[in-house]
Amino acid sequence: MRELLLADDTGWHVPQLNVGDWFNAIVHWLQNNVGPLLDFIKLVVQSCVDAVVWVLTLLPSWAMVIVFALLALLIRGWKFGLGALIGFALIDSVRAFDNAMNSLSQVIVAGVVAVIIAIPLGILAARSARASRIIKPVMDFMQTLPQFVYLIPVIFFFSIGAVPGVIATVVFALPPGVRLTELGIRQVDKEMVEAGEAFGAPSGKILRGIQIPLAMPSIMAGINQVIMMSLSMVVIAGMVGAPGLGSQVFGAVQQLQLANGFNGGLAVVILAIYLDRLTSSLGDRSAVSRAARVASKV
Count how many domains the chain has: 1
Q: Is there a domain that residue 60 lies in?
A: no
10 Å CB burial of residue 5 (0-12, 13-18, 19+) is exposed
pLDDT digits (tens, 9 = 90+) for 80-109: 899 999 999 999 998 889 989 999 999 999
pLDDT digits (tens, 9 = 90+) for 153-163: 777 777 777 88
pLDDT digits (tens, 9 = 90+) for 196-212: 777 777 777 878 788 88
Phi-psi region of 77 (alpha: psi -120 to 50; beta: other; left: phi over 0): left
Q: Is there a domain that residue 209 lies in?
A: yes
Q: Residue 7's Cα: distance from chain center in Å?
A: 50
What CATH number is associated with residue 209?
1.10.3720.10
pLDDT band for 283, please (50, 70, 90 cuts).
low
Per-position DSSP letters for 204-239, written without gaps between them? HHHIIIIIHHHHHHHHHHHHHHHHHHHHHTHHHHHT
d(CA 88, CA 137): 40
pLDDT digits (tens, 9 = 90+) for 34-64: 778 888 888 898 899 999 999 999 889 999 9
pLDDT band for 68, please (50, 70, 90 cuts).
very high
Q: Is there a domain that residue 230 lies in?
A: yes
Q: Is there a domain that residue 246 lies in?
A: yes
Q: Is there a domain that residue 123 lies in?
A: yes
3-class SS of residue 126: helix
